[in-house]
Amino acid sequence: MKILVLSDKVEDIIYSNSISERFGDIDFVISCGDLPKYYLEFVVSSLNKPLFYVLGNHDRSNIYTENGLECGLPEGCINIDGRLVLYKGILMMGLEGSMFYSGGAFQYSERQMAFKAFKLCPKIFFNKIFFRRNIKIIVTHAPPCKIHDRSDLCHRGFKVFVKLIKKYRPEFFLHGHVHTYNVNRKNITYAGSTKVINCYGHRLIEV
């Protein structure tokens, strides 16, 4: 199964009339956050495939337009923050936002993020025991602590994400948030058997 993953940057190769020619064979789309509403709506309408997303620290629930205050969330897309979502046999878990640094929207302390994550543990246990389903993909905006993150508070990764990787061993841990302009910067790291990918711009993965 082929998945198009987007994060943080509007790219011409995606926001293009030829998107269906380039990416029409994908099965679904994931967004790791900090992408404008119009961009995600364009992708989901052009490809006519499901789009699952979490929000980033620069996203807004409401935005001001020439018509006044409007909902900032993309229509036709599925918010998976704080949820387990099953699609075509693939169990996904989503957690939005970044480390708390300025008091803005979608910012969390380590303790708050841990609480969000551990609230899902009973559902994860239920899926494993009764349906033999394990988490295949964890989708976040921020990275795990010490993997692809930076030393400043805004871009610091969450320790609880490392715990999730060790406990549930998903095949993929997909995140954004850390912009990568240096081609030599490492964007794919293995944490045990889990492939951790910084999806800045776009990535194609196969499950």
Helix (H, G, I), strand (E, B) or coil at 125: helix
Give alpha helix (H) positions in 17-151: 19-23, 37-47, 110-118, 121-131
The count of domains in the chain is 1
pLDDT at 181 over 90: no
Can you say whether residue 186 is alpha, beta or left, with left for phi > 0 and alpha for psi between -120 and 50 degrees? beta
pLDDT at 65 over 80: no
- Segments of 120-187 assigned E as strands: 135-140, 172-175
What token pair was written down for 159?
Answer: 């320790």
131: confidence class by pLDDT, cuts 50, 70, 90: very high
CA dist 10 and 206 (Å) reads 22
Q: What is the pLDDT of residue 199?
A: 98
pTM value is: 0.95
What token pair was written down for 42?
Answer: 């364009």
**DSSP label of 155:** G
Note the pLDDT tens digit of each residue in 75-88: 999 999 999 999 99
51: confidence class by pLDDT, cuts 50, 70, 90: very high
Cβ-based neighbour number of residue 21 at 10 Å: 9
Q: What is the pLDDT of residue 185?
A: 72
The residue-averaged pLDDT of 92-114 equals 97
Q: Under a CB-based contact definition with an 8 Å cutoff, are residues 72 and 45 in contact?
A: no
Cβ-based neighbour number of residue 33 at 10 Å: 28
H or E stretch covering 46 = helix 37-47
- What's 90's domain CATH number? 3.60.21.10
Residues spanned by the domain of 99: 2-206
